[in-house]
Amino acid sequence: MKIVFLDSISIGNDISLEGIKKEGELRTYNITDEKEVYSRIKDAEIIITNKVYVGKKEMESSEKLKLICVAATGYNNVDIEEAKRRNIVVANVKDYSTESVAQTVFAYILEFQNKINKYNNDVKKGEWEKSPIFTMLNHTTFELKNKKIGIIGYGKIGKRVSEIAKVFGMEILVAKRKGVEYKESFRYSFEEVLKESDMLTIHTPLTKESLNMIGKKEMELMKKNSILINTARGGIVNEEELYWALKNNELRGAGLDVMEEEPPKMHKKLFELDNIIITPHIAWASKESREKLMAGIIENIRDYKKGEIEKINIWRK
């Protein structure tokens, strides 16, 4: 059984592939260009892809292809309808990055509240040495207790964020999705969450409905001293309008782990601002998270080999 991993660099060099090697003859490529897909998968029964697109043309080039393992939760890089037509199993991995993403959300929040990097930089520049007293109060810091955190998207990650927030003594505001009726009484209207939150964190997929969900209109509703955090998908927050809001102090700050274009070539003027933290789509990528992802891929391959297709075939769910 031949297995091809098209973009193994996406899970890092510190994650072992030995488990996959036990399941078949593994061939790995760090990166695969669009033009290289055809030749690399032509004799594969199983392919593993994180971001490499697999559509009709790619599937046509591999008559033996039976299983596409997506090394992620999202599977928008696979033509599901074409896979269904060809009876090719498509398997993703769910819930592997919950702890990592939730932890990153609070890394942003704590940096904005505690100013650790600002103080660290001041000390290393010799500012503490010049202080006439034992301490320095150059940057105002804030406690999280009694602050309100708004959560847009209340799946596994959103719920984990709320659990951590409760430990800090924060008030949780879970937003309703527009046009959806909820039985739960704890949800607040989308507009109320925008208006009341001291921190707003996004954990919803990128869809037609969520594209540019947070733009100028929404940012104007938010508190001027609030923090906006997006670890979900680029495109949910309008970056041009976020720049306007941060530049004009409509928001106190923002933390972005995702951008419309990755790696970014546009909207780089955001990088010039002091009140934004930008990380390169790494909220999901703790070592433990990537190990869980690899274990999920191996489990999907084993289920396929055992004939347990219903368990992993996402287009039948």
Examine the pLDDT at 311 and tell me if it is beyond 80.
Answer: no
Tell me what percent of the residues of the chain surpass a pLDDT of 70.
97
User: Which amino acid, residue 77?
Assistant: N
Does 215 share its domain with 299? no
Active site residue 281: yes
Q: In the structure, what pLDDT confidence band is assigned to residue 314 with cuts at 50, 70 and 90?
A: low
**Domain count of the fold of the chain:** 2
Residue 199 in contact with residue 147, Cβ under 8 Å? Answer: yes
Does 52 share its domain with 165? no
Q: What is the pLDDT of residue 316?
A: 47
Examine the pLDDT at 29 and tell me if it is beyond 80.
Answer: yes
Catalytic residue, candidates 60, 127, 163, 262: 262
Does 216 share its domain with 87? no
Active site residue 240: no
Does 265 share its domain with 242? yes
What does the pLDDT look like over 87-135, one tens digit per residue? Answer: 999 999 999 999 999 999 999 999 999 999 999 999 999 999 999 999 9
What does the pLDDT look like over 257-295, one tens digit per residue? Answer: 999 999 998 768 999 999 999 999 999 999 999 999 999
Does 224 share its domain with 297? no
Active site residue 262: yes
Catalytic residue, candidates 27, 177, 267, 281: 281
CATH number at residue 155: 3.40.50.720
Examine the pLDDT at 172 and tell me if it is beyond 90.
Answer: yes
* Other C-beta atoms lying within 10 Å of the C-beta of residue 164: 16
Examine the pLDDT at 8 and tell me if it is beyond 90.
Answer: yes
The string of DSSP letters for 122-187 reads HHHTTTGGG-SSSS--SS-----TT-EEEEE--SHHHHHHHHHHHHTTPEEEEEPPTT-----SSE
The whole-number average pLDDT for the span 219-248 is 97
* 280 token code pair: 């390169």
Q: What is the pLDDT of residue 38?
A: 92
Among 75-79, 153-157, 169-173, the minimum mean pLDDT is found in: 75-79
Q: What is the pLDDT of residue 183?
A: 76
Residue 112: domain span: 98-278
Does 265 share its domain with 251? yes
Catalytic residue, candidates 233, 241, 252, 260: 233
